Homo-oligomer: A and B are copies of this chain.
Amino acid sequence: MMIAMGKRARLAADWLASAPSGTKDAALECMAAMLLTRQEAILEANQQDLAAGQRAGLSPALLDRLMLNPARLAGIVGDLRQLIRLPDPVGESFEASVLPNGLRARKQRVPLGVLGVIYEARPNVTVDVAGLAVKTGNAAILRGGSETMHSNRELVSAIRQALEETGLSADIIQWVSDPARERVLELLHMDETVDMIIPRGGAGLHEFCRQNSRIPVITGGIGICHLYVDASADLEKALPVIFNAKVQRPSVCNALDTVLVHQSVASEFLPRVVAHLRSAEVSFRAEPRAQEYLLQYNTGAYLEQDAHTGSEQVHYGAQVGAILPQDVLPAGPDDFDTEWLSLVLGLKVVDDLDEAVTHIRQHSTGHSDGILTEDAANARRFVARVDSGVVYVNASTRFTDGAQLGLGAEIAVSTQRLHARGPMGLRELTTYKWVVEGDYHVRA
């Protein structure tokens, strides 16, 4: 069954590859309209998934991801229509040149072919991926989580109907309805018909794909992200950046995991970080030296007499209260290798920029890492030495996102080195071919 699906996908992709942009955009509009037309059935199917999820005891967070309602569906449809407005990368020529012998060579963007996308309990991914695939001329085989089975059946059915009504093959988007895990393994072995595997899920899924796939896998989406606060950093400005990177949306891959602080500013800055982020329910894991700075602070080094009550108490700016041992746990052996995905932040003091770079090279997943500094030379050294998908100077790691970085759409954030790194948009779902034109040229 999977093999036949692959062959149908390949055939559909072969034809879609030379479809004009207008046809693909018409299909996207038809998909958007069809989702709205069939809204009632889609939401009803989603209710079945939610009910099954509740019976199965899924967590509230997971149930929330699973849930569709008219507003969310409208958002999904809006994203599809947004795709229509983006330029079609397919057919673009680049690196054109005329060689000394008169041959005219250029590269021309073409679709990748067939995508295999393996994801979990988010029904919006089904429509996202279908839209991105159609826009870029690729076919896709979707393997969603079993929790979304009913929703996906309805969504894929609507998408396929829309493709057919546009005069395209419904097989551009196929869906693996069988929830058995073996189907994933079969998909990973279909190197004859599938060109790229995109896992969207946790580290376990990525590792499983990488170990078992005969098809190139886009590894990504796992971010152990760092910000290094340099000696020269503007600490006033650094604090909100760290707050934003950690607190704005802690459950995502570009959220901050570890703050590294130069030792010369650690005693001043670390207590402020703890006081400020604690107000947003962040808890901390500090390595011994960071803990020392914080406890030193707490145990009286900065004690001041309160002007009103006359009693002594810890005081540092308006927002800083006493730092209690339970606020700052000692970092465990694996804590700096943990992607928190929650309101936990690792704290470490470093001697200098080199130690920060060494720590990042050792513990980063190559997703998003940055420096906060006023020293241009240090910024340059950090950028030169830290080799992550996105390297920041004086900005929150939360910008690692296709829409934020101007790509218009995003299929994944790659943390691997080949093909594409960082946010992958439409162009990263294409490859190129060389086109070489001559006048019956022969090689001498």
**How many copies make up the complex?**
2
Q: Which of A6-23 contact B (CB under 8 A)?
A: 14, 17-18
Given A214-B210, A433-B422, A443-B244, the answer on whether A438 and B394 have CB atoms closer than 8 Å is yes
Per-residue 0/1 for A385-396: is the Cβ within 8 Å of any B Cβ (1 yes, 0 no)? 101111111111
Flag if A195 contacts B418 (CB, 8 Å): yes
Flag if B394 contacts A440 (CB, 8 Å): yes
Question: Which residues of B sit under 8 angstroms from A328, Cβ to Cβ?
Answer: none
Per-residue 0/1 for A31-50: is the Cβ within 8 Å of any B Cβ (1 yes, 0 no)? 00000000000000000000
Q: Which of A380-421 contact B (CB under 8 A)?
A: 383-385, 387-396, 398-400, 404-406, 416-419, 421
Flag if B435 contacts A391 (CB, 8 Å): yes
Q: Complex Cα distance A389/B241, Å? A: 45
A-B contacts, 28 of them at CB < 8 A, read A14-B361, A97-B406, A103-B405, A195-B417, A195-B418, A210-B214, A211-B214, A216-B216, A234-B440, A240-B442, A241-B440, A245-B442, A387-B433, A388-B433, A390-B433, A390-B434, A390-B435, A393-B436, A393-B438, A394-B437, A394-B439, A398-B442, A399-B436, A400-B434, A418-B418, A418-B431, A421-B434, A422-B434
Question: Which residues of B sit under 8 angstroms from A421, Cβ to Cβ?
Answer: 431-434
Q: Which of A193-245 contact B (CB under 8 A)?
A: 195-196, 210-211, 214, 216, 234, 237-238, 240-241, 243-245
Verify if A105 is at the interface (C-beta below 8 Å from B).
Answer: yes
Flag if B389 contacts A434 (CB, 8 Å): yes
Question: Which residues of B sit under 8 angstroms from A241, Cβ to Cβ?
Answer: 440-442
Question: Which residues of B sit under 8 angstroms from A191, Cβ to Cβ?
Answer: 210
Question: Which residues of B sit under 8 angstroms from A54, Cβ to Cβ?
Answer: none
Verify if A296 is at the interface (C-beta below 8 Å from B).
Answer: no
Flag if A103 contacts B418 (CB, 8 Å): no
Other than the given A379-B437, A405-B436, 14 more pairs (CB < 8 A) read A14-B361, A99-B404, A110-B387, A196-B418, A216-B216, A241-B440, A241-B442, A244-B442, A391-B433, A393-B436, A399-B443, A418-B419, A421-B433, A422-B433
A311, chain B: closest CB distance, angstroms: 36
Q: Complex Cα distance A388/B433, Å? A: 6
Given A110-B387, A418-B418, A436-B390, the answer on whether A99 and B405 have CB atoms closer than 8 Å is yes
Verify if A113 is at the interface (C-beta below 8 Å from B).
Answer: yes
Given A234-B440, A387-B17, the answer on whether A103 and B399 have CB atoms closer than 8 Å is yes
Show the binding face of A for B, using Cβ within 8 Å: 14, 17-18, 97, 99, 103, 105, 108, 110, 112-113, 191, 195-196, 210-211, 214, 216, 234, 237-238, 240-241, 243-245, 248, 361, 372, 379, 383-385, 387-396, 398-400, 404-406, 416-419, 421-423, 431-443
A123, chain B: closest CB distance, angstroms: 25
Q: Complex Cα distance A231/B385, Å? A: 58
Interface residue from B195, B387, B418 paired with A216 (Cβ < 8 Å): B418
A136, chain B: closest CB distance, angstroms: 13
Given A210-B191, A418-B418, the answer on whether A395 and B438 have CB atoms closer than 8 Å is yes
Give the residue name and chain of the B residue nearest to A390 (CB). B434
Give the residue name and chain of the B residue nearest to A13 (CB). B387
A305, chain B: closest CB distance, angstroms: 34
Give the residue name and chain of the B residue nearest to A416 (CB). B216
A48, chain B: closest CB distance, angstroms: 36
